[in-house]
Amino acid sequence: MNDPESVEQVARASSQRRGIVRWAVKQTVFVLILAAVLFLSAGGAAGARDWLFLGLVAAIQVLTALVLIPRSPELLIERSQLKEGVKTWDIGLAVLMGYSPVFLALAAGLEARLTAPPAGINAGALVAVLVAILGTLLTLWAMLANPFFSGIVRIQQERGHTVASSGPYQYVRHPGYVGMLIFTLATPLILDSLWAVGVAALITVVTAVRTALEDRTLQNELAGYAEYATRVRFCLLPGIW
């Protein structure tokens, strides 16, 4: 007779594997979409900076897998699918932010096709890559510190959702968004695109709106968050907001 605990452990491990595979497939498709948009929009004007950006995004997906799969596989499972309790107002905002590299690449590619190809890789582009990596590391730090770091706003009742207050959450309430914004603002410099600067500005506004809505939801619905917000006063920028 099978031990119920062993059966449950096998089922949990199987669910984890399926969730990780779903996440990996989604990220692979994302990189392929990014590549298609980047090179098709630029046409013959695609160059070394496009490959640099594509390689950076692909490397970030690999790094995320290497960091999170052994440490927090449940987080990848949570981020691989929609579950009950998702805030419908967040779906569009999540898509805009999640696909922001694609929109940035589209703007840069069209600019290269319709005006002039960007300059080759220089020191400025490499510094921007380092800044983007730092932003990514901040987001990964937030993911490791917060096991409830979801891709879309919802209170994860079935997982015993609690307030994250360690790691970067000691300094701002939404450090993951700070890391994403750093990556977003570095991208136009990597791609050498003024058009992408405009897209990055729009994404910054979307991020600020989403942060405000998410913070209000957490204060109203997540036990302990309102008290946490009195201790950590700033959402994104220490000393400002």
User: How many residues belong to the chain?
Assistant: 241
What is the per-residue pLDDT for 9?
67
Q: How remote is the C-alpha of 97 from its chain's centroid?
A: 7
Q: Which residue has the higher pLDDT, 118 or 80?
A: 118
pLDDT value, residue 216: 95
**Contacting residues for 95 by C-beta, under 8 A, at least 6 apart:** none
- The per-residue pLDDT for range 47-60, each reduced to its tens digit, is 889 999 999 999 99
Q: What architecture is domain 4-231?
A: Up-down Bundle (1.20)
- 17-40: average pLDDT: 90
User: Distances from the Cα of 48 to the Cαs of 22, 45, 117, 120, 199, in angstroms?
Assistant: 31, 10, 10, 6, 21
What is the average pLDDT across 162-183?
95
Asked whether the predicted pLDDT for residue 226 surpasses 90, the reply is yes
The b-or-e profile of 92-125 (16+ CB within 10 A means b, else e) is ebbebbebbbbbbbbbbbbbbbeeebbeebeeeb
pLDDT at 165: 93
pLDDT at 58: 96
Locate the domains of the chain by residue range. 4-231
Confidence label for 11 from pLDDT (cuts 50, 70 and 90): low
pLDDT of residue 10: 65
